[in-house]
Structure formats: structure tokens, C-alpha cells
Amino acid sequence: MVSPAPGVTLSPRGSTRARSGHPWIFRADVQSSPPGLASGAEVRLADARGNFIARAFWAERSPIALRILSRRDEPLDDAFLRDRIERSVSRRRALFPGADACRAVHGEADLLPGYFADLYGDVVSVQHLAEWAEVRREALARMVAEVCGARAVVARDDGSSRDFEMLPRRTDTLLGKPPVVGTYHEGDLTLTVDLLEDHKTGGYLDQRENHLRAGELARGEALDAFCYHGGFALQLARRAGHVVAIDQDASAVTRTRENAQRNGLGNVEVRAANAVEQLRALDKEGRKFDVVVLDPPAFAKRRDGLQGALRAYKEINYRAIRLLAPGGLLVTCSCSGKVTPQIFGEVIEWAAQEAKRPLQVLERRGASRDHPPLLGVPETDYLKCWFLLAP
């Protein structure tokens, strides 16, 4: 017998969106709902004719009123959620056998919209970007810890995405005791991350495979702008003669130096400075590099910031191209979801034309395989990482 749940009726537009496979239903597409639904309540979705569509969780405050978790008429209980987490983690273990770091749960793409979990060694960093996950945070922490075999779980709910969901920003240790430091590997390198103090969920695992690929192609003089913990810089340093790594975040610069020392990489020069200003200064000096990496933060998190972001992307790519030595490699990235691959390509083309340097596209890459995009949900396909050669 199917367990009962309050019924929510969707508008024709909402019904079409739900049936298309997108897990988000906006409040404007809710035709009717029972009064007094609690935040995170499980509901049963139907169209105006009463035909069943999906099971979802209700949001009391968010502009996204519903997150769909199942197209089957089944309860979204703890057993259901644990099974979803187990399946997600199992896929990662099959993709990366023996790896000690990965995105264990990737929100919408793993059919747990609004819930994210990153594994670093024996600790897990989680984010709750939907009300249903927020009200179940302790239960989810126990589940993900048991499935991953983790000793600690930290909630990094301090990002701007929480503002859109009308949720407070905060950082908590849900399991274990602080300080919560994870040790993990990228290829042959040993890295550490402080899950309470570092950015986002601690590291940038979506770039993990791109870090390794850049390291394979490294040589000569290399530059890593916006280096954060040195993900690109340290891999470059294994083959390059000298690497300049730049970030304006003092704590990130300290972590890059520590990671370089830990791995015996004495050819990394770390600068605490504004990367954009440094690109201009290096260009003015006439410096040339065999490899230049641009991995800036998300310049455009919302549509209203797109034009300003495009100006910033054009500036840094123009400077980077001018800094390339003949035959040099440019690795340029954008994690702004509003900057589509087409727009990103237009930015790079403009920069190459302004710099009067032709570029060959070597590879168009995205996020690592543990961050899979979900077809029909463009929000999950956000990272662009292009490798280009200057002949």
C-alpha cells in the first residue's frame, strides 16, 4: 500500500516541466496546495486532472516550491534517502577505485536535489541547498557518514546559494569534533583541507581531473592565476621548471605553500596578490610563460551580473593570451553557470583577436566525472575548462 502524502496540484506549465525530468518546480507553477504545509514536507504531485506525476519535498520559503525526488508513487522516507546515497557513493567507487577524495553526492544529478557531499579521506563536507535537506541535516549526516565510513561530517552552509533559498548561512560540525582536517590525494600529490575554514566544501574536486591533465602537459615556465590551494600549480610543478601561483586570499596562499612543501616541490613561487592586477603587471613586464592557467571564482552567480562577468573574463583571457610564449598552453576555466559554453567560446575568441594571437582548441573539458551533469537540467552543467595552444 502506498503511503499517504498531502497532495499538490501543478499548473499545466508546471506539469509539463515536471514530466520533462527537471526536479525544480517554481512557486508560480503550483496551482493549489494544502494550507499549513511544513518546510520540507513530503507531498504527492498531480496535474489538474488528478493524474499522478511525482513525489517531492515542499519548501515553505524558497522560490523553488518543490524538489522532485521520485517519479514513482513511493515514500520518501529515510530508507529511500539512504538508498539514494548508497547508489551515488557506489557509482563513485566504481569510477575511481581506491580514490580517497570525490564528490559522493552531486545534488540534482544524483537525484537528491539540493544535497551535496564531498569526501576527503575520512571526513565529509556537506551542503544543504534546499529546505527538505535542511530539516533532515542530522539524519542525512548519519547516513552519509555510515555509507562513506567517515569519522566526521561538516556542514558548509555559508555560501550565497543559501540566500536564494531563504536559508541562513552557517557552518556546523554535524558529526565528530573540530578541527576537521582531511588528507587526500590528487594523483601522486598529498593535500590537506580544513573543512571548517577553507572555501566552499573545502576544495575544488570538480577540477580534479583537469588538474591532472594540465600536469601531464606542463613544461618550462608556468603561471597559475587564482590558484586557491594550488590544485593546478602543484601538478604543473611536477613537470614545469618554475611555477608562479597567485591568489589574493592569504589563507589559500598559505595552504598552497604548505602543500608545495609537503610534496617536496621547491619550484613553486606563491604570491599573495590580486590575480587580475598581477596579469596586467606581468604583461607590462613583457613576461612569457609556456603554460598559463586561469581558474577564477564564479564572476556571474546570477543573470543580472552576467555583463560585468563577461568584461572580467575578457580582460583576464586577453592578458593571459598575451603572456603565452610561442607554442604555449592556455588552460582557461569558468564555473559560472550563466556563462554557457557558447558564450565562453565567444569570450576566448574575442580575447585572441584583441591579442592578435591565433589559438588552437586542444580540448574542451568540464567537471570531473564525479560531478556528472544531468540531461535536461542545464544548471548541473556549469564548469568549462578549455585547453588551447598558441602556435
95: its cell numbers: 569510477
d(CA 95, CA 370) in angstroms, rounded, equals: 8
**Ramachandran quadrant class, 336 (left: phi over 0; alpha: psi -120 to 50; beta: rest):** beta
Would you say 347 and 384 are in contact if contact means Cβ atoms under 8 Å apart? no
Q: How far apart are the first and last CA of the chain?
A: 67
DSSP 8-state symbol, 73: S
Beta strand ranges found along 143-288 (DSSP E): 152-157, 170-175, 181-186, 189-194, 221-225, 242-247, 268-272
d(CA 320, CA 323) in angstroms, rounded, equals: 5
Does residue 335 have an active-site annotation? yes
Beta strand ranges found along the chain (DSSP E): 7-10, 24-26, 30-32, 42-46, 52-58, 64-70, 101-106, 115-120, 123-128, 152-157, 170-175, 181-186, 189-194, 221-225, 242-247, 268-272, 289-294, 324-334, 360-365, 384-389
d(CA 384, CA 350) in angstroms, rounded, equals: 17
For residue 229, which of 268, 180, 264 has the smallest C-alpha distance?
268
Residues paired with 384 in a beta bridge? 334
Pairing of strands 242-247, 221-225: parallel
Single out the catalytic residue among 102, 333, 335, 385. 335
Query: 364 to each of 18, 140, 209, how far by Cα in Å?
Result: 31, 35, 13
Cell 577553507 belongs to which residue?
198
Coarse DSSP helix, strand, coil percentages of the chain, rounded to the nearest 5 percent:
35, 30, 35
Catalytic annotation, residues:
335
